[in-house]
Amino acid sequence: MLGELTAGRGRLRPTKTRITTADGRVFIQDGDRIDQISEHEPGYIVDLHPDLSVAIVQEPWLYLGGQDVAADKQILRKFGIQRILNVGSGIENLFPEEFLYSNIEILDVPEFNIVPDLKVCADILEKSRKSGERCFVHCNAGVSRAPTVVIGYLVLKQSMDFTSALEMVKQARTCAKPNQGFMNQLMQLK
């Protein structure tokens, strides 16, 4: 029997696996060999310029943007923000004495299973809406993760279809572009 098993090894097809690390490096694993193929394809959106724009998704309570707004107390006060939902990686909550924070760290890679986090975030946002809190949702750049969370909320808690939710978020924040893996998962939400 062992001879049959070892003889069958020669018929197995080799597979290659693409690996993207949290810091954006990309590797290809081929059997026991691992080769780095890129240092320049981050697995997340790179935020190189300050973005102080605030997208109003649902007046008067649901706002969306990037970490630059979350670091600007004056802008947050101007919009009357009371709760901040931080879904970025490695972003410090700068004003815990002034705002209620909720943190759900989400990796911006297509392979990341976002559905469990979407459900937690949707519950946080619905509680915020029901209590009359103005909530600002952000990730690092406000392009992939935070828009994904807001779209997920609209589908899960406000019974919007995916296309309408995506359109609403893109009208509020034109640079919104969830990664393809997140888009695929959002389309399957119910």
User: Distances from the Cα of 53 to the Cαs of 124, 158, 162, 183, in angstroms?
Assistant: 23, 25, 24, 23
pTM, 2 dp: 0.76
pLDDT band at 12 (very low <50, low <70, confident <90, very high): low
Instruction: Give the separation between CA 148 and CA 57, rounded to whole angstroms.
Output: 13
- pLDDT band at 30, cuts 50/70/90? confident
Q: What is the DSSP letter of 158?
A: H
Amino acid 137: pLDDT: 98
Q: What is the pLDDT of residue 6?
A: 56
Give the residue-averaged pLDDT of 148-153: 98
Tell me which residues are annotated as active site.
139
* CB-CB contact of 176 with 143 (8 Å): yes
| Single-letter residue type at 105 | E
More reliable by pLDDT, 50 or 102: 102
Name the percent of the chain lying above pLDDT 90: 72
- Give me the pLDDT at residue 178, please: 97
Position 34 confidence tier, pLDDT thresholds 50, 70, 90:
confident
* Greater pLDDT, 14 or 89: 89
CB 57 within 8 A of CB 96: no
For residue 57, give the nearest of 152, 140, 131 by alpha carbon. 152
Do 91 and 165 touch, CB atoms closer than 8 A?
no
For residue 32, name the pLDDT band (cuts at 50, 70, 90).
confident
Listed residue (187, 179, 184, 149) closest to 44, CA to CA: 179
Instruction: State the chain's mean pLDDT as an integer.
Output: 88
* 148 pLDDT above the threshold of 60: yes
Percent of the chain with pLDDT over 70: 83
**Is residue 147 within 8 Å of 87, Cβ to Cβ?**
no
pLDDT (0 to 100) of residue 156: 98
pLDDT in tens, 106-126: 999 999 999 999 999 999 999
Q: What is the mean pLDDT of residues 71-76?
A: 97
Say if residues 64 and 172 touch (Cβ distance below 8 Å). yes
14 vs 165: which has the higher pLDDT: 165
Task: Let me know: does 67 contact 91? Beta carbons within 8 Å.
Answer: yes
